[in-house]
Amino acid sequence: MAMRRSLPTLRPIVSASVSGAGRMAPPSCSLRGSGCSGGGGGGRDWRVLLPTGRGVEGAGVRGFGVMDSVQDKIINRNTAKQEKQFKEQMEELSLKESFNLDDFAKIIEEPLDKFSAKLPWNKSREELQAMKMQKKVLEGLTPLQRKNPESIRHGHRQRIADRAGVTTEDVNKALAAYRELKAMHGWLSTRRKRKERIPSTQEELHVMATDPSGTMLMNFMKVKRSNSGKPSFAF
């Protein structure tokens, strides 16, 4: 029986909020309505917001047209860079002959700031913490387990957790993250073998992943019953 799973959320990394007019807004600026909170709804906020004792609230942000132009160029350049990174990541995954925990580890074990800049996923603070935990779990795996993840049985997970200094729940979450990326690899490599297009943008990914006329991503995220009656993932 197939288990319903949501697609990985793939969004560009945008480090600043963007107003409806395409300008970067200060962190404290409300994007609801026509302007910043308290700005009178005039579109641009001509005030220079200064520290208030509760933290800097958009200090130094001005609404001059020249600044808007510079900010627009920065946003466009960042978007183009993120789209290029996304396409490269999809191509790289589709060309891999196989994908195991060693491959997963090569991604996770990169410095987190480099990893954050490389991948197209928009990472919150919680997601970055999750990546740190995944790195610890990988350190608790034996070389055999990293080469052959299918050898990891339910009873092994407590020993992995003990070696890594984490909980079995952390181990389960790390293995689930690996399985999702492995499913993405299987989907992309199958599309390449069938001479189907590889998504080059996030919009294409979501369309292709659910298009019944092509190879669907959900086909690689199935659940089957093992002899013990417990569900296990099949890729």
The CATH number assigned to the domain holding 221 equals 1.10.260.30
pLDDT exceeds 80 at position 187: yes
Total domain count, the chain: 1
In a domain, 4, yes or no: no
Rounded CA gap, 22 and 193, in Å?
A: 40
pLDDT exceeds 80 at position 160: yes
Name the band, by pLDDT with cuts 50, 70 and 90, for residue 68.
low
Tell me which residue has tokens 């799973």.
5
Q: Give the range of the structural domain holding residue 131, as residue numbers without chain letter.
A: 72-234
In a domain, 150, yes or no: yes
pLDDT exceeds 50 at position 218: yes
In a domain, 8, yes or no: no
Mean per-residue pLDDT for 181-190? Answer: 91
In a domain, 38, yes or no: no
In a domain, 34, yes or no: no
Q: Please, are residues 12 and 202 in contact by the beta-carbon 8 Å criterion?
A: yes
pLDDT exceeds 80 at position 73: no
In a domain, 177, yes or no: yes
**How much is the mean pLDDT over the chain?**
68
Most confident option among 12-16, 29-33, 89-93, 218-222 = 89-93
* pLDDT tens digits, one per residue of 82-127: 788 888 888 988 999 999 999 988 877 665 555 555 554 455 667 7
Rounded CA gap, 89 and 135, in Å?
A: 20
In a domain, 41, yes or no: no
Of residues 145 and 129, more confidence is placed in 145
In a domain, 179, yes or no: yes
- Helix axis angle for 65-95 and 168-193, nearest 10°, is 80
